[in-house]
Amino acid sequence: MRSNHTKRFSLLAIASLSTLAKAAPQTRSSSCIGTISSLSDVGTAVQCTTVNIDAFTVPAGQTFNLDLLEGTTVNVLGEIQFGNLSWAGPLFEVKGTNVTFNGNGQIWDGGGPFYWDGLGTNGGVTKPRPMMKIEISGTLSDVHVVNAPAQCFSLTNPGPLVVSGIIVDDSQGNYPNANSDGLPAGHNTDGFDVSGNDLVVEKSVVINQDDCLAINRGRNIVFQDNYCNGGHGISIGSITSNVVVEGVVVRSNTVVNSQQAFRIKTDEVATNSSVSNVTYTDNVATNCTSYGVLITQSYPASLGTPGNGVIISDVDFYPGSTFLTATSNAVMVAVNCGEGSCIGTWNWSGLMTSGGMVGPMNNITVITGYTQ
Ligand SMILES: *[C@@H]1O[C@H](CO)[C@@H](O)[C@H](O)[C@H]1NC(C)=O
Ligand SMILES: *[C@@H]1O[C@H](CO)[C@@H](O)[C@H](O)[C@H]1NC(C)=O
Ligand SMILES: *[C@@H]1O[C@H](CO)[C@@H](O)[C@H](O)[C@H]1NC(C)=O
Ligand SMILES: *[C@@H]1O[C@H](CO)[C@@H](O)[C@H](O)[C@H]1NC(C)=O
Ligand SMILES: *[C@@H]1O[C@H](CO)[C@@H](O)[C@H](O)[C@H]1NC(C)=O
Ligand SMILES: *[C@@H]1O[C@H](CO)[C@@H](O)[C@H](O)[C@H]1NC(C)=O
Ligand SMILES: *[C@@H]1O[C@H](CO)[C@@H](O)[C@H](O)[C@H]1NC(C)=O
C-alpha cells in the first residue's frame, strides 16, 4: 500500500479520536495521491483524486477494476500486463465522472497470442473481453494497447467523453499461429465498441481483424482523424431491436486494407430501431477488399433478404469529399434496404469511388449526387 492517505489518516486519528470514530469517511481528504503497483493497492488508491499506476502484472482471472471519485486524474506510469487464463474478463474496467485518464503512451499487453485461435468469440477458447471496459466521462488519452484477446475497447460513457491518441495494435493477429489452422490468429478484435452519447473518438490508430469502430447505440458521436488498418472498417451496427443511433459524424479518417471502409449493418430480424443523421466527410479509404460502402438491412448476411424493422434516414457523404478505392474483385458501393425503411435525404455528392465493381442498390431511391 503506497498511498500517503493512510499516514494522514493516523495523524488525524491521534489528534481527534472521538470525532473521527463517528465521521471517519467524511473527514478523509481525497486530495491525496494514490499509487497502484498491485491489485491490493486499488481499494485505498481510489479514495484519492490523483491515482498513479506503476508497471505491474494483473493476476490471471481477475479484473483490474477502478471505481473512481468524481474529478479523478489517473496517470499511467508503467506497462500493464495481464496474467494469461481462459476466462470471460473484462481485463480492465474503469468507472467515474469527469475523469482525466492519462495513458502516457504506456503499453497495456492483453497477451493475445496466448488466446488467439482464429475463431475469436465465435468458438475456440474463451477469451476475456472486452479488454478495456471504459465507463467514464471526461477524457481518455494516450493509451497504447497491444494484443487484445478479442474485443478491445468498450465505451459506455455516463456523460461527455473525449477519447484521443489511443493505439490498438493487434497486428500480430494478422498471421496464422499454431492454433489457428491457417487462419489469421486474431479474430473479433474490434477496436472500439460504442454504446453511449456525446462521445468523440479521435487521433487514434487501430490495426486489427474486425471493426475499427462499431456503434451499437447512442447519440452525438464523432469519429475523426483516426487511422484504421486491416479490419472491417468504420461501422454502425450491427443494430438490434429497440435501439436508436442518432447524429454520427465520420470525418477525416484513413481506412486502409480493410474489408469495408464504411458500413451500416442492421439485423434482418431487428424491429423498432432507427439510425439517423449520419455524415461521412473528408475520409480516404484505399484497398477495400470486399465493399467500399456497405449499407445493409440483412445482417448477418451482407446481401441477403433485407428486413424493414430498422429505419435508416439521412445518410450523407457531404459536405467535403470521401475518396474510396476498392480492389477489382470487391464492390464499391452496395445498399440493401428493406421496403420503405431507408428514407429522408441522402446527399452523396461528396463520394468519389474507383477500382471495384458496381453493387446493388435495393429499395433505395433517396440517394442523390452519386452514380456508380
Ligand atoms: C472536472 O474536474 C476538474 C478537475 O480535475 C475540475 O477542474 C472541473 O471543474 C470538473 N468539472 C466538472 C464539470 O465537474
Ligand atoms: C501471456 O501470453 C502472451 C503470449 O504468449 C505473452 O506475450 C505475454 O507476455 C503473457 N503474459 C504474461 C503476463 O505472462
Ligand atoms: C422501442 O424502442 C424504444 C427505445 O428506443 C423503447 O423505449 C420502446 O419501449 C420500444 N418499443 C417497444 C414496443 O418495444
Ligand atoms: C446531426 O448530428 C450532428 C452530430 O451529432 C449534430 O451536430 C446535428 O445537429 C444533427 N443534425 C440534425 C438535423 O439533427
Ligand atoms: C490489401 O489489403 C489486404 C487485406 O488486409 C492485404 O492482404 C493486402 O496485402 C493489401 N494489398 C495491398 C496492395 O496493400
Ligand atoms: C425490398 O425489401 C423487401 C423487404 O422489405 C424485400 O423482400 C425485397 O427483396 C427488397 N427488394 C429488393 C430489390 O431487394
Ligand atoms: C448535395 O450537396 C451538394 C453540395 O455538395 C449540393 O450542391 C446539392 O444541391 C445537394 N443536393 C441536394 C439534393 O440537397
**Interhelix angle for 17-27 vs 5-15, to 10°?**
150
Architecture (CATH level 2) of domain 70-368: 3 Solenoid (2.160)
Nearest ligand to the C-alpha of residue 97? Answer: 1
What per-residue confidence (pLDDT) applies to 28? 56
Confidence at residue 13, expressed as pLDDT on a 0 to 100 scale: 38
In the prediction, which pLDDT does 26 show? 45
| Phi, psi dihedral angles at 44 (to 5 degrees) | -75, -45
Extract the residue ranges of the chain whose pLDDT is less than 50: 1-27
Q: Is the CB of 43 under 6 A from ligand 2?
A: no
Beta bridge partners of 202: 164, 224
pLDDT of residue 350: 97
> What pLDDT score was predicted for residue 25?
46
Cα 363 to averaged position of ligand 6 atoms, centre (Å): 6
Angle at 178 (CA atoms; ends 175, 182), nearest 5 degrees: 50
**Terminus-to-terminus CA distance in the chain, angstroms?**
63
Instruction: State residue 100's pLDDT score.
Output: 98
Among all ligands shown, which has an atom nearest to the Cα of 328?
A: 5
3-class SS of residue 120: helix
Judge whether 5 counts as a catalytic residue. no
What pLDDT is attached to residue 212?
98
The closest of 295, 213, 303, 290 to 257, measured between CA atoms, is 290
pTM (2 d.p.): 0.92
Question: What's the pLDDT tens digit per position in 266-305?
Answer: 999 999 999 999 999 999 999 999 999 999 999 999 999 9
Q: How far is the CA of 311 from the centre of ligand 3 (A)?
A: 13
From the number of C-beta atoms within 10 Å of its C-beta (0-12, 13-18, 19+), residue 269 rates as exposed
pLDDT of residue 115: 98
φ, ψ (nearest 5 deg) of residue 252: 55, 40
- For a mutational test of ligand 6's pocket, the pick from 296, 299, 339, i.e. the residue with the most ligand atoms closer than 8 A to its C-beta, is 339
Which of 242, 243, 274, 311 for mutating ligand 3's site (highest number of atoms within 8 Å of CB)?
242
What integer pLDDT is reported at residue 23 of this predicted model?
A: 40
Which residues are within 8 A (CB) of 18 and not within 5 positions of it... i.e. 6 or more apart? Answer: none
- The response to whether residue 220 sits with its C-beta less than 6 Å from ligand 1 reads no
